Structure 1
Amino acid sequence: MTDCGCDKAKHDLEEYLHHELLADEAADIRDHLATCSSCSNEHQVGVVLIEAVQRACRETAPEELRAQVLTRIRALQTH
């Protein structure tokens, strides 16, 4: 594997975070992240963001809020 450089690492970071790269490409990004603190920091921000979104998607609204939203939707649909 080779160090792909900052430009390629930053360009492909989103796909890397979502495991959408071919194995060789992912290995090149991983090698680069191991030696570049700037890209590694961007990678860490991406990881934290993905984890936050995943947590938010697992949470459900309180039952009272859900009932209010459904009532409002039904009211809008009847007009």
Structure 2
Amino acid sequence: MSDCQGLGDCDDARMQRIYEYLDGALTHSDIADIKDHLDGCPECFEEYDLECVIRKVVKRSCTEAAPENLKSAILDRIHAIRPVEA
């Protein structure tokens, strides 16, 4: 493991600082430190890049519309398996 330029070991940086960086939860000074670190640490940059891809896929998945008939199909199934009330 390499020293993350004063940010702790790379595992700590990947687990906390990079996520804070992506979430916009750092000061301007900390952002500059993380950018500098990512430029010089391939291990952390790989983790950063992977997290960016994951976030893009999740964001895209959350914006896709469900098929129009999905709601009625789910309700039909619920009614089919729900016990009939007396």
Structure 1 length-normalised TM: 0.77
Shift of 1:4: 3.7
Give secondary structure in 2 for the equivalent of 1:51.
helix
Compute the RMSD of aligned alpha carbons.
Answer: 2.1
Give secondary structure in 2 for the equivalent of 1:63.
coil
Structure 1 runs, 4 residues or longer, greater than 2 Å off: 3-9, 69-73
1:26–1:17 CA distance, 2 compared to 1 (3 A): same
Percent sequence identity over matched residues?
37
Q: Which amino acid aligns with 2:25?
A: E
- Structure-1 residue corresponding to 2:24: 19
- Please give the alpha-carbon distance, in whole angstroms, between the structure 1 residues aligned to 2:12 and 2:52: 18
Number of residue pairs the alignment of both structures matches: 75
Give secondary structure in 2 for the equivalent of 1:61.
coil
Q: More helix by proportion, 1 or 2?
A: 1
- Structure-1 residue corresponding to 2:55: 50
Unaligned 5+ runs, structure 1: none
Is contact 1:33–1:40 with CA below 8 Å preserved after alignment?
yes
- Please give the alpha-carbon distance, in whole angstroms, between the structure 1 residues aligned to 2:27 and 2:13: 14
Give secondary structure in 1 for the equivalent of 2:52.
helix
- Please give the alpha-carbon distance, in whole angstroms, between the structure 1 residues aligned to 2:11 and 2:27: 18
- Structure-2 residue corresponding to 1:35: 40
The structure whose Rg is larger is 2
